[in-house]
Amino acid sequence: MQRFPAFDPPEYVEWQPDPALVRAYRRTVEENPERAALVALLPSEAKRALYAGLLRARLHDVQLKRWVRTGVISKAWLGTGEEATTVGPVHALQRGRDIVAPMIRNAAACCEMGMSVADMLRAYLGSEDSPSRGRDLHVGSFSHGVLQPISHVGDMVPVITGIALTFKMKGEPRVALTWVGDGSTKTAAAHEGTNFAAVQKVPAIFIIQNNQVALGTRLEQHHLPGTFRDWGASYGMWSAQFDGNNVLDAYAATSLAVERCHRGEGPARMGGHATHDEREARETFPDALFKEWGRRDPIGLYEEYLKEEGRSAAELEAVEREVTAEVERAAEQAVQSKARMPQGETALEGVYAKPGR
């Protein structure tokens, strides 16, 4: 994809495929027979949609950075480098049936569940026509199956567990999924929710998104085991790991978890490993670590995979042109919404359910 020297992490600007990592990417997809079978069944169109999803996520972040740089907004939360951990799992779900609760790192989930990029950008402007009507920058849309998270990390775990419990009680073949940052696993809410999900055997999927940092706190400062491999087992819960930079692995691992949920064998816990590119992380970790993870750009590696599958550069460029146009159009539409800021009194509207509902 086109790189953006002004906005991309430095490791991505001159990104070139490392042949060993390209081979390892394919090996990851092929070495687990169950996952390999699922990937082999993916229609060409679905693989293209995964690519578009990754691009949409990256370009959404680039647009936000552009707005920060030009003073349209003062701050943005980004998922750059972690796109595969969000996009792969959402593509394993069914729109209109399943429910997700994205954390701020997972804004891409909103779009992959069908929300428009323009609405995602409007949320940052806090306009009257934004998803929360200007109340909050956390984004959700019930009609798209996306729960709007609250700021407190870890708190969506018991909420998702409750939703999954409802699915189980009603006998509905649906699943509920949320992501939990490595740091957020330490909250009481995450523990209580995970344990309750396990003992109630609800159709929930928890993805521990281990980007090795929680603001300025490194993983080894808050998590002595070093990995999350045994985390699910400590709750008596089935769990699996996937490569957080490999969208196909993330997709296939989540698909298996969904199948388990449908068989009544939920919940499932999964770990995705990714990188994190924000100021605190850059101040916390040595440059070498960013170089190492930068070589694993989830978009660059997936492009190499697709090319090996016989996709032409022209086809990939066509997808990129479509998504670029979608994001550019969305930014233009969203900026128009700046003229539609909510009146203060409207903050009191729509807070409580109407009697009888």
Ligand X SMILES: Cc1ncc(C[n+]2csc(CCOP(=O)(O)OP(=O)(O)O)c2C)c(N)n1
**Which residues are near Mg ion by CB under 5 A?**
181-183, 211, 214
Give the separation between CA 182 and CA 198, rounded to whole angstroms.
Answer: 19
Q: Is 152 in the site for ligand X (CB under 6 A)?
A: yes
Examine residue 214 and tell whether it contacts ligand X (CB under 6 A): yes
Considering only 149-157, 223-231, 260-268, 283-291, which stretch makes contact with ligand X by CB under 6 A? 149-157
The residue from 176, 213, 247, 319 that contacts ligand X (CB under 6 A) is: 213
Q: Which of 35, 105, 223, 273 binds ligand X (CB under 6 A)?
A: 105
One-letter amino acid for residue 192 of the chain: E
Q: Does 243 bind ligand X (CB under 6 A)?
A: no
9 or 145: CB nearest Mg ion: 9
Closest of 28, 35, 77 to residue 57, by C-alpha: 77
CB of 124 to ligand X, least distance (A): 17
102 counts as binding ligand X under rule CB under 6 A:
no
DSSP β-ladder status, 217-218 and 99-101: unpaired
d(CA 16, CA 23): 14
Position among 52, 117, 153, 250 found at the interface with ligand X (CB under 6 A): 153
Chain position carrying tokens 């700046």 = 338
CB nearer ligand X, residue 222 or residue 321: 222
For residue 202, the tally of other CB atoms under 10 A from its CB is 24
Rounded Cα distance between 333 and 313, Å, is 30
Q: Give 23 or 222: the residue with its C-beta nearer to ligand X.
A: 222
Q: Which amino acid is at 280?
A: E
Which residues between 167 and 196 bind ligand X (CB under 6 A)? Answer: 181-184, 187
3-state helix, strand, coil in the chain (%, to 5): 55, 10, 35
Question: Of 143 and 151, which CB lies nearer to ligand X in the complex structure?
Answer: 151
Q: Where are the beta strands (DSSP E) in the chain?
A: 99-101, 176-181, 204-210, 213-214, 217-218, 238-242, 268-273
Identified binder of ligand X from the candidate list 16, 70, 143, 151, rule CB under 6 A: 151
Residues in the chain: 357
What residue type is assigned to position 248 of the chain? Answer: L
Nearer to Mg ion, 140 or 183 (CB): 183
The footprint of ligand X (CB under 6 A) covers: 105, 151-154, 181-184, 187, 211, 213-215, 276
